[in-house]
Amino acid sequence: MTDPHSEAPVPAGLSHSEIRSIIVGIMVAMFLAALDQTIVATAMPTIGRELNDLEHLPWVVTAYLLTATAVTPLYGKLSDIVGRRTTLLVAIGIFVAGSIACALAPTMLVLILARGLQGLGGGGLISLAQTIIADIVSPKERPRYQAYIAGVFILSSVSGPVLGGFFAEHLHWSVIFWINLPLGLLALWMTGSLLRKLPRHERPHRLDLLGAGVMAAATVVLMLALNWGGVRYGWSSAPILGLFAASALLWALFVARLRTAPEPLIPAEVLANRVVAMGTLAACFGMGVFIGLTIYMPIYLETVYELTASQSGLALLPLMVGTVTGATISGRVMARVDHYKRLPLIGLSIAVAALAILAMVPRGLPLAALEVVMTATSLGLGTLLPVSTVAIQNAVMPHQMGTATGTMNFFRSLGGALIVAGFGAIVLGGLPASAQAGLSMERLAASFAEHGLDIAFVFRWVFAAAALGLTLSLCALAAMEERPLKASVHEASAAAE
């Protein structure tokens, strides 16, 4: 990676080549976490057969998501207390240890527990990487690097399923975990010593362990309800309703703890910051819709357009590539203009209109026209990503950067889980209740055909829900205050004094 910003001011003690090395290293760390969310999917049937346990196979994915989501805000707060280097090294170390345990797992139970351990490390990698970029790159230059972050996610989304299937078929399923060892060591080697030079923003901090525990418990219970609802149990079943009720109670306890703790896990001034609140909401709905579309568009393409799995993968590329392109354009524009919200406001409006077209015409569009509509959606959605992240980081004190970034990533993950569950409820809701129990996505199209139902009509409401989600993201972005971006890291640090 070349450094296109050699004229930008750099923090004291760091050269441009050192900044470049740090950024490449943390991109590798981000790739570790992002890849592990996608590489396992295509290898799961092989894993289930070899470990003689298909019943508990979904927990291989669920265990990782539960722990990774629950600890994301905790890593942000820890990095504000003990520093980015120590926290990142711990996260990479836990992730690599979990990967080795996964590769050596002799039974499904051990593999599930190891995936939970892996998620404890992976949950911190993405938000820590974004926070470290904020430490070494000025807010004015930072949007350009957000395009690299978007590229990491798209690369993992495209390469993960391919690599997972190849390793499982031609080598051994454990290779999907062994590959994390050299990647993790590379990230450690590239960042370990240089991160000692990161600027420190020391403040007296205490970690609210009770609040962290309550928040983690509330998150795990909510994620269980979202993962099991409509798949293992009906949405109106006693187990799912009980989980939602327990989660609501735990969240109420967490809010009460925020009000009474001497130093809460998420400080009141961060939560009350209008830029953080509205930027997080915009990112939550925007990223949630994107994740939901990446999961359900292949089903739409394979059922309505009758594409094969490989053809639907190719047809999905505009959704992936367009997001990176939109983020890249938005990042470059944001670095050059004062009113940086205008482009994502226009982009999200176009994306809403594109999804509205799909909602009105769910069947009958030529495939080429569908690709154009998906490209418009992804380009518009991509413009939001750098603006929301950089605006949030620009609006908080440097000693709160980790907390704010971790909070944003936490709610983005929760938003993705909620919207994916919502899309699933819409799709499964198009079937009679007797046909929904234990229905896999592979059997979805056949089940609709058996009951004489048109799945395209059901997807009309999925696209309408996606348009509504992006409309909410658009409204939150419009309500977000547009503060001038600080021109240097030193200026951002001075704002904390």
Q: What is the predicted pLDDT for the residue at 9?
A: 44
What residues make up the domain containing 224?
209-265
Residue 3 is assigned to a structural domain of this protein: no
The answer to whether residues 50 and 108 belong to one domain is yes
Q: Which of 265, 282, 309 is the last residue of a domain?
A: 265
What is the Cα–Cα distance from 259 to 276, expressed in whole angstroms?
18
What is the Cα–Cα distance from 172 to 166, expressed in whole angstroms?
9
Residue 425 is assigned to a structural domain of this protein: yes
Which residues, in sequence order, are bridge partners of residue 190? none
Q: How distant is the alpha carbon of residue 6 from its chain centre?
A: 30
- Per-residue pLDDT tens for 138-167? 777 777 676 677 677 777 777 777 777 777
Q: Which carries the bigger pLDDT value, residue 89 or residue 192?
A: 89
Q: Which carries the bigger pLDDT value, residue 329 or residue 126?
A: 329
Residue matched to tokens 């999905």: 316
Q: What is the predicted pLDDT for the residue at 377?
A: 93
CATH number of domain containing 160 = 1.20.1250.20
- Per-residue pLDDT tens for 9-38? 445 456 677 777 777 777 888 887 777 777
The answer to whether residues 343 and 396 belong to one domain is yes
Residue matched to tokens 């046909």: 435
* Confidence at 489, pLDDT banded by 50, 70, 90: low
Has residue 5 got a pLDDT over 70?
Answer: no
Q: Which of 265, 283, 309 is the last residue of a domain?
A: 265
Q: What is the predicted pLDDT for the residue at 217?
A: 87
Residue 216 is assigned to a structural domain of this protein: yes
Residue 430 is assigned to a structural domain of this protein: yes
Residue 356 is assigned to a structural domain of this protein: yes
The answer to whether residues 116 and 222 belong to one domain is no
CA dihedral 27, 314, 431, 472 (to 10 degrees): 50
Residue in 32, 62, 218 with CA at minimum distance from that of residue 125? 32
Residue 7 is assigned to a structural domain of this protein: no
Residue in 39, 116, 123, 6 with CA at minimum distance from that of residue 76? 123
Residue matched to tokens 């362990």: 209
On the CB side of 417, how many CA atoms lie within 13 Å of its CA?
24
In a 3-state reduction of DSSP, which class is residue 233?
Answer: strand
DSSP 462-474: HHHHHHHHHHHHH
Inter-residue contact 297 to 378 (CB < 8 Å): no
Residue in 94, 152, 150 with CA at minimum distance from that of residue 119? 94
The answer to whether residues 306 and 431 belong to one domain is yes
Mean pLDDT computed over 447-464? 75
The answer to whether residues 184 and 62 belong to one domain is yes
- Per-residue pLDDT tens for 305-342? 877 766 777 787 888 788 888 888 888 888 788 888 89
What is the Cα–Cα distance from 66 to 237, expressed in whole angstroms?
21
Q: Which of 179, 198, 217 is the last residue of a domain?
A: 198
What is the Cα–Cα distance from 128 to 402, expressed in whole angstroms?
7
- Per-residue pLDDT tens for 387-427? 888 888 888 877 777 778 888 888 888 888 788 878 877 87
As for how many domains the chain has, the answer is 3
Residue 4 is assigned to a structural domain of this protein: no
Q: Rounded mean pLDDT of the chain?
A: 79
Residue type at 431 in one-letter notation = L
Q: What is the predicted pLDDT for the residue at 450?
A: 63
* Confidence at 202, pLDDT banded by 50, 70, 90: low
Residue 203 is assigned to a structural domain of this protein: no
Q: What is the predicted pLDDT for the residue at 170?
A: 78
The answer to whether residues 393 and 297 belong to one domain is yes
Element (H, E) at 99: helix 84-104
Has residue 495 got a pLDDT over 60?
Answer: no
The answer to whether residues 272 and 138 belong to one domain is no
- Per-residue pLDDT tens for 247-288? 999 989 988 888 887 777 777 777 788 888 899 999 889 988
The answer to whether residues 312 and 362 belong to one domain is yes
Residue type at 419 in one-letter notation = I
- Per-residue pLDDT tens for 111-120? 889 988 998 8
* 72-86, 232-246, 343-357, 432-446, range with the lowest pLDDT: 432-446
The answer to whether residues 148 and 19 belong to one domain is yes
Q: What percent of the chain has pLDDT over 90?
A: 14
